Amino acid sequence: MAEKPLAGLRVLDLSRLLPGPYASLLLSDLGADVVKVEDSGAGDYLRQVAPSMYAPLNRGKRSIVVDLPSGDFDELVARADVLIESFRPGVLERLVPSTPERLIVCRISGFGQADSDWRDRAGHDIGYLALAGVLAFNRAQPAVQLADLFGGAQQAVIGVLAALVERARTGLGRVVDVSLTHGSTGLLLAADAARLLDGSRPCYRVYRCAAGFFALGALEPKFWQRFCAAVGRPEWIDGAFDPALVPDVDALFLTRTRDEWNELLFEADCSGEPVLSPDELRAHPLFGAAFAGDVLRTFPALSPDVPLGPAPSQGQHALSDVLRDWR
């Protein structure tokens, strides 16, 4: 088996909940040795709040318990390549007063490290999206954590990988300052399209069926034409973006079940898919290999084989063992 692209990379993850652990999960899946650092108290709150989320986010990692500040932990920091944290600004400096020049420190916070009236404010995904202008386009609370995953974790991984490339050239690390709020504004690059793709046009809409839902994305004329041909409605060809046509298409989709529409439109290849629930993914041929027991894997493009073992219990691994491995 080929060596993974981040094999040998040493990552300390001091973060909690979703953004930081998801970022370190992606690094782990690409080959990094990720050590989750927890205190002897509550540790990562996600274990208690949402154990079903904690398990897939932290598989393949090690967990050590360290009450900071700690001399042994300082030695571990000296041997690490990357440190990820999600404390409020200023906390890391109290817990880890100094870091090596070569260390890449990825700091994930709600509003960034720069001085502002928001720097020290408490927050969660819904507030970051509200302030970033993203929530207005959703017209309701999003069902997935867009700020945590896109604004935070994804920007963190991109920043860390770029810093690793830079360090290979300069020998120096850097601070990667990730603001979940600022990172989420990247979702607004499609704001103009959002007005067109908000479900008000018949060619791009989620339709209720006799049982279930079907998502049609027939934006391009060729796909809409294939749809019209498949459902026997040639008179609709010029109405792809006409909101007045929506009630007629709504009525049509109610005449069959989701699975019946999928059977018909799959052959038409008109850019449409059934709306699956998460529980249905395991039985779907595209996703069956994504599961190991109850744990869903990620799909890093450069690393088809990812660690699928269970997530570590709090303090399952010894700091001394990590120090030995990271000599």
CATH of the domain at 99: 3.40.50.10540
pLDDT for 132-153, tens place per residue?
988 887 776 778 899 999 999 9
* Residue 301 clears pLDDT 70, i.e. is over it: no
Pull the structure tokens for residue 299.
Answer: 């799909």
Whether residues 155 and 21 share a domain: the answer is yes
Is residue 123 in some structural domain? yes
Please identify which residue in the block is written with the tokens 């909940």.
17
Q: Are residues 80 and 217 in the same domain?
A: no
Would you place residue 293 in the very low, low, confident or very high pLDDT band (cuts 50, 70, 90)? Answer: low
Distance of CA 307 to the CA centre of its chain: 17
Residues 68 and 180 occupy one common structural domain: yes
Question: How much is the average pLDDT of 251-265?
Answer: 98
pLDDT of residue 299: 72
Q: pLDDT value at position 307?
A: 72
More confident residue, 307 or 262: 262
Q: What is the CATH number of the domain that holds 264?
A: 3.30.1540.10
Q: pLDDT for 149-197, tens place per residue? A: 999 999 999 999 999 999 999 999 999 999 999 999 999 887 766 678 8
In the structure, what pLDDT confidence band is assigned to residue 37 with cuts at 50, 70 and 90?
A: very high
Distance CA 77, CA 74 (A): 5
Q: Are residues 51 and 181 in the same domain?
A: yes
Does residue 304 carry a pLDDT above 70? no
Please check whether residue 289 lies inside any domain of the structure: no
Is 288 domain-assigned?
Answer: no
Instruction: Report CA-CA distances (Å) from 157 to 55, 57, 82, 106, 148.
Output: 20, 15, 11, 9, 12
Same domain, 218 and 162: no
Assess whether 113 and 238 both reside in one domain: no
Q: Residue 287: what pLDDT?
A: 80
* pLDDT(29) > 70: yes
In a domain, 78, yes or no: yes
Catalytic annotation, pick one of 13, 81, 125, 148: 148
Average pLDDT of span 249-254? 98
pLDDT at 74 over 90: yes
Residues 144 and 274 in one domain: no
Per-residue confidence at 282, pLDDT binned at 50, 70, 90? Answer: confident
Please check the confidence at residue 1 and state whether its pLDDT lies above 80.
Answer: no
**Nearby residues of 143 by Cβ (< 8 Å), 6 or more positions away:** none
In degrees rounded to 5, what are phi and psi of residue 134?
-80, -40
User: For position 289, what pLDDT does the model report?
Assistant: 67
Residue 116 and residue 66 share a domain: yes
**Tokens (6 digits) for 13:** 């993850």
Does 307 lie in the same domain as 250? no
pLDDT, mean of residues 30-47: 94
Q: In what order do the strands lie in the sheet with 272-274?
A: 204-208, 213-217, 272-274
Categorize the per-residue pLDDT at 303 as very low, low, confident or very high, splitting at 50, 70 and 90. Answer: low
Q: Are residue 149 and residue 213 in the same domain, yes or no? A: no
Rounded Cα–Cα distance for residues 77 and 11 (Å): 9
pLDDT at site 290? 67
Give the pLDDT band (50/70/90) at residue 294. low
pTM here? 0.89
Give percent above pLDDT 90 in the chain.
78
Q: What is the extent of the structural domain holding 240?
A: 199-279
Same structural domain for residues 182 and 206?
no
Rounded to an integer, the average pLDDT of 21-37 is: 96
* Position 95 in a domain: yes
Rounded distance between C-alpha atoms, residue 185 and residue 151, angstroms: 8
pLDDT beyond 70 at 291: no
Say if residue 210 is in the same domain as residue 241.
yes
Number of domains in the chain: 2
**Residue 269 vs residue 42, higher pLDDT:** 269
**Any domain includes 42:** yes
| DSSP result, 4-37 | PTTTT-EEEE---TTHHHHHHHHHHHTT-EEEEE
The answer to the question of residue 93 being in a domain is yes
Is 294 designated active site? no
137 belongs to a structural domain: yes
Query: What three-state secondary structure class fits 61?
Result: coil
